[in-house]
Amino acid sequence: MDHGVHAVELIAAIFDYNESIMQFQIYPLVKRLATTISKIDVESPKKATLMSFLNVFMQYKNGFLPNNQYLLLTEFTKQSMNADQNLFKGTEGRTQLALYMAEMKY
């Protein structure tokens, strides 16, 4: 994953329209993706390509997977912010995160 996008492309192809995405524990994969993507320069085509595969992990056919969406949102937030600047910190942060999740369902 650190040297190319083909590993993620293959994983995305396996899970595209595959019902096992609903039971698969994707946390290690998402954590690795978030870490890798956050280290790449913003202008990099590699970053854009890796991010383009993320939608495969957030939906199955025409339905969204809220747990996977939540995981992706929180993991990328952790990677992009310092611990002191976490977007969803405290009661107000949890409320804001819940609102974002509610909006993603539609």
Per-residue pLDDT of the chain (106 residues; tens, 9 = 90+): 767 788 888 888 888 878 887 788 888 888 888 888 878 877 788 888 888 888 888 888 878 888 888 888 888 777 655 544 455 667 777 787 777 777 765 4
Domain that holds residue 16: 6-104
Does some domain include residue 14? yes
Nearest residue to 30 (alpha-carbon basis) of 48, 8, 49 = 8
Per-residue exposure over 61-90, b if at least 16 CB sit within 10 Å of its own CB, e if not: eeeebeebbbbbbbbbbbeeeeeeeeebee
SS3 75: helix
- How many domains is the chain built from? 1
Does some domain include residue 82? yes
Residue-level pLDDT at 22: 78
Does some domain include residue 1? no
Q: What backbone phi and psi angles, to 5 degrees, belong to 62? A: -100, 5
Rg (CA), the chain: 14
